């Protein structure tokens, strides 16, 4: 088993910097688009044979050092009582978003084995087929709550923040339930076999530091408390978090993910030397010329400075118009720049 990724999560020395890509399975891959001709996103996620196949597509095609379970952040919301579908070209759409304190009462706890058994079956199917570690994931309470409240994607998160400020008790009740779901669900993924987990707080950069500490951090911390002591490394990721990294580093993960807006060495200072860092190439850069991609990859590797604990990734997910060849080249470049013979 290639254990570079797990070693880097634990800040142990590695033979080369591990690489994986958020959204490494998805629309930029012709193999994925071919399957999507036949199946909806939810069908892919809910059919273990297909979800396992999609998880493996980038692992077979690209030199990545970890696989990420093919699933979606929003799947647990449905059994909790929040029905949604993915609408072509628009993203998720919820039937009855949470709009009041009374709505929070209909958010139920779940038993992951009963409610999301298909995800756990996918993990069990994948494990014997993988030579790299498998990453499981959940959404952090803030990001999940924002979908449940907005009912879909949002630019300003106005309804979410309005509930936070105007009905703090309802907000904390909702996020407490989401945190316990996320923690329980991660435990189930770990029991099924994932080797590491990532908590996505993709939209938490909407908050300033004081609001982050009051409304988001305690709930995210609770998610990490659920898995503390299980020996499975954890990554905590968000976008637009330059001002939040120091606080995020106190939530309880082993590694903190940074987006591309903060130079990697600066981000690592904020996170602190006792944590690993994941990141942080701008995903849109992959649409530009190779000379620029190459220079940015070199810059990130130099800023990591050979210190144990760097996992190379993008600052957010691979964009659908990215060329698979460029992704492959980036992975090879990181490996060659950081391997003993490349140095
Ligand atoms: O390869 C991987 O990273 C694993 C698979 C994965 C998906 N979603 C599959 C997916 C992961 C880790 C996610 C997490 C996820 N889902 C997040 C957090 C990550 C992030 O990007 O910050 C969020 C916010 C969601 C919710 C979600 N899922 C939205 C808003 C959308 C629509 C927007 C879009 O890109 O189309 C999705 C759809 C989705 N989930 C796709 C994939 C591959 C697009 C697929 C398709 O239509 O075929």
d(CA 27, CA 23): 9
d(CA 188, CA 194): 9
3-state class of 193 per DSSP?
A: coil
Q: Whose CA is nearest to atom 22 of ligand 1?
A: 202
pLDDT at 90: 87
C-beta separation of 330 from 299 below 8 A: no
Annotation marks residue 72 as catalytic: yes
Burial of 189 (0-12, 13-18, 19+ CB in 10 A): buried
- 33 C-alpha to ligand 1 centroid (Å): 14
d(CA 74, CA 314): 22
Q: Whose CA is nearest to atom 20 of ligand 1?
A: 202
pTM confidence score: 0.97
C-beta separation of 238 from 248 below 8 A: yes
With the most atoms of ligand 1 within 8 angstroms of its CB, the residue from 72, 206, 238 to mutate is 72
What's the average pLDDT block by block, 10 residues per block, for the chain (343 residues)?
97 98 97 97 98 97 96 98 93 95 96 98 98 98 98 94 98 98 98 98 98 98 98 98 98 98 98 98 98 98 98 98 98 95 49
pLDDT at 340: 72
- 32 C-alpha to ligand 1 centroid (Å): 13
d(CA 76, CA 83): 10
Active-site residue (options: 3, 15, 72, 265): 72
pLDDT at 343: 47
């Amino acid at each position: 088993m290639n254990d570079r990724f797990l070693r880097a999560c634990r800040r142990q020395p590695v033979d080369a910097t591990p690489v994986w890509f958020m959204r490494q399975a998805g629309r930029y891959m012709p193999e994925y688009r071919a399957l999507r001709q036949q199946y909806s996103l939810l069908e892919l996620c809910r059919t273990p044979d297909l979800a396992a196949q999609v998880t493996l597509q980038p692992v077979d095609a690209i030199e990545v050092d970890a696989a990420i379970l093919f699933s979606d952040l929003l799947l647990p919301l449905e059994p909790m009582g929040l029905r949604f579908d993915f609408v072509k070209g628009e993203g998720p759409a919820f039937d009855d978003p949470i709009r009041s304190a009374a709505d929070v009462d209909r958010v139920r706890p779940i038993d992951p084995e009963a409610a999301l058994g298909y995800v756990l079956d996918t993990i069990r199917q994948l494990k014997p087929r993988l030579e790299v570690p498998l990453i499981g994931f959940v959404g952090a309470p803030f990001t999940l709550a924002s979908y449940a409240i907005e009912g879909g994607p949002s630019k300003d998160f106005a309804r979410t923040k309005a509930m936070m400020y105007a009905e703090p008790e309802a907000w904390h009740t909702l996020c407490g339930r989401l945190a316990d779901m996320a923690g329980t669900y991660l435990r189930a993924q770990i029991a099924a076999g994932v080797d590491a987990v990532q908590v996505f707080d993709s939209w938490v950069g909407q908050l300033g530091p004081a609001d982050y500490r009051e409304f988001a951090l305690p709930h995210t911390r609770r998610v990490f408390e659920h898995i503390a002591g299980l020996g499975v490394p954890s990554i905590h990721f968000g976008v637009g978090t330059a001002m939040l990294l120091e606080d995020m580093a106190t939530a309880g993960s082993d590694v903190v993910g940074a987006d591309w807006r903060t130079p990697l060495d600066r981000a690592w200072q904020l996170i602190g030397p006792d944590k690993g860092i994941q990141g942080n190439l701008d995903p849109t850069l992959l649409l530009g010329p190779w000379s620029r991609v190459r220079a940015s990859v070199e810059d990130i590797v130099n800023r990591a400075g050979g210190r144990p604990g760097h996992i190379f990734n993008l600052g957010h997910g691979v964009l659908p118009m990215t060329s698979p060849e460029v992704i492959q080249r980036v992975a090879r470049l990181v490996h060659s720049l950081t391997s003993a013979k490349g140095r």
